[in-house]
Amino acid sequence: LSGAKTVAGLLAEAAARVPFVAMDDLAAALAAGNAGYVLLDVREKDAFDAGHIIGALHLPRGQLELRVNDMLPDPTARILTICEFGRISTLAAATLRDLGFTRAAALDGGVKAWRAARTPLVGGQPSPAKPLVSAAQNAHLKANARHEHFRHCRSAPGAERHPALSAVPVAA
């Protein structure tokens, strides 16, 4: 196709404007107890559940634009996007920068490099040992995500017939 962008072209454009954080630098910061970033894993749920960097929040790349403002309301936050190989996280960091999160960066090499270096991963939810958000903030984020999910589902055709959805109050 004449004039169409390629995936390689999109990645090159994103990489030219997104800073990268070396895996060793992040591992050292985590070992010292302060990543200095909000870690945002943009892989799909099954990959995240199979193992993620300690303290990482989960927001799949396919939902990034729709949920990031609710999940991360501070556009001045230092955000480090993480994916499997470092490509999707590069695109995610570029998108975050386009959305006003000007301090977004991407993890160089992704979880694959993290695994190869035998750096620890955790499964399931972020470890409670050193949370990046307080318990109250985490509860708020989860409640907000549920509210948004039900609000979206209630607007779908046939939702009025679903008993679980009709019991959930939705703000206008």
Told to judge if 83 belongs to the known catalytic residues of this protein, a careful annotator would answer yes
Q: What b/e sequence results for 146-161 when a residue is b if at least 16 CB atoms lie within 10 Å of its CB, and e otherwise?
A: eebebeeeeeeeeeee
Neighbouring C-beta atoms of residue 93, cutoff 10 Å: 30
Residue 39 carries which side chain, given as an amino acid letter? L
Give me the catalytic one of 53, 83, 92, 94.
83
Residue 29 near residue 53 (C-beta atoms within 8 A): no
Phi, psi of 142 (to 5 degrees): -65, -45
Residues that are catalytic: 83
